[in-house]
Amino acid sequence: MRTNLTKWLLVMLLTAVVFAIWTWLRPYEWSPDAKARFEIVGAEVTRDHEYHWLSVHLKRAGAAEHDLLKPVRLLTGDGSEVEPADTRLKGGPEHGITDLWFKFWLEPGKLNGTLRLRINDGVLVVKANPDQPALGLSGQKYFNSNHW
């Protein structure tokens, strides 16, 4: 009886570890647009009264640089375009821009529907779920997948 319980607990522990590793290592988006030159690492939503802040973190996906002359826009589910309220860059002269952070100020209702990020010559899916995310009591949540 004791060996069966030990085996069962070991199988459950192994299953939990495999699930945790898969959740941690899965990509944000399974097939990001290569023309975007970057891929999304994660997104964070913070409630600010009736409004929301959306922060999106991107990493360079290849050798091509980010084109600073092309505008970056968040495309909301209702068809409107939102400019970033803040932009941060990471990198240096030898490697170019390796990471980007964009922060968007969203009016009430703009989190409803899908959210897409138009960057360079491509479009990345920030949020695939049409419903507004549940942020809980803290009013803040980090997402490592576009299914929120």
**pLDDT per position as a tens digit, 22-69:** 776 778 998 999 999 999 999 999 999 999 999 999 999 999 999 999
Domains assigned to the chain: 28-143 (2.60.40.10)
Q: Percentage of the chain surpassing pLDDT 90?
A: 81
pLDDT in tens, 130-147: 998 989 899 999 999 999
- pLDDT value of position 59: 97
Distances (CA, A) of 142 to 44, 86, 146, 148: 4, 18, 11, 10
Angle at 42 between CA 118 and CA 23, to 5 degrees: 130
As a whole number of angstroms, the distance between CA 99 and CA 97 comes to 6
Q: What pLDDT is stored for residue 87 in this prediction? A: 97
Residue among 49, 38, 35, 25 at smallest CA distance from 105: 49
CB 102 within 8 A of CB 56: yes
Q: For residues 21 and 80, which has the higher predicted lDDT (pLDDT)?
A: 80
